[in-house]
Amino acid sequence: MTKPVDDKEAERHRAKMAKRKSVQDEEVAGKTYEKGLLIVHTGTGKGKSTAAFGLALRMIGRGERVGVVQFVKGAWHTAERDALAKFGDQVAWYSMGEGFTWETQDLARDIAAAERAWAKAVELTNDDSFGLVILDELNIALRYDYLPLDEVIATLKARRPRLHVVVTGRNAKPDLIEAADLVTDMTLVKHHFAAGVKAQPGIEF
């Protein structure tokens, strides 16, 4: 499989990469301060919560404590929860949702569940033992107006300076995107459900 490399090609490559490195070095030098980030993972593709849990893993590897509040998916992410249990007290996990909203069909109950979850979120963001707090599917609770958007954004903006917060879920509100430091839209390009493949343990749940 080895591919021959001639001198001219090698030199072209070296010059291109040297230029790329100088751009990269300059970019890094331009960043001067650290701060806790408000991160939003939104979009219709997969990976919003999954990337948040990947970030949890990274923070754990750095010795930080991680808090998780699940706003909607009551029974989901049990596999991640089981795995993260291995880290003991370094992870605090709260499943506060009542299941999907289309499972409950009870607006008053949904709102009450969202309010309990938000109270827990406020508690964790105020607890300075946490380096990262994940508010999983908070966007869903905001989308259905189960929580007052202004109050949620004001609380998140007023958080401790070094605390990172990740908010996940489709249809992030424009005002939340405006308030965030880092926003990624997980865009669906292709999905195996369309080909009749069913949800599988380890992938979807």
Q: Which of residues 104-133 bind a copy of itself (CB under 8 A)?
A: 104-108, 110-112, 115, 118, 131-132
Tell me the number of residues near a copy of itself by CB under 8 A: 101
Of residues 124-183, those binding a copy of itself (CB under 8 A): 131-132, 145-148, 151, 164, 177, 180-183
In a 13 Å sphere around the CA of 70, the CA atoms on its Cβ side amount to: 21
Taking CA atoms, 197 is separated from 50, 188, 191, 193, 194, in Å, by: 20, 16, 9, 5, 7
Of residues 40-59, those binding a copy of itself (CB under 8 A): 40-43, 45-47, 49-59
Question: In this structure, what are the phi and psi dihedrals at residue 120, rounded to the nearest 5 degrees?
Answer: -65, -40
Q: Report in angstroms how near the CB of residue 34 gets to a copy of itself at its nearest.
A: 5
Long-range CB contacts (within 8 A, 24+) of 148-156: 149/173, 149/175, 149/176, 150/175, 152/118, 152/176, 153/179, 155/122, 155/125, 156/38, 156/125
Q: Report in angstroms how near the CB of residue 120 gets to a copy of itself at its nearest.
A: 14
Asked if 184 is part of the footprint of a copy of itself (rule: CB under 8 A), the reply reads: yes
Binding segment (CB under 8 A) for a copy of itself, from list 67-75, 100-108, 135-143, 153-161: 100-108
Q: Report in angstroms how near the CB of residue 103 gets to a copy of itself at its nearest.
A: 6
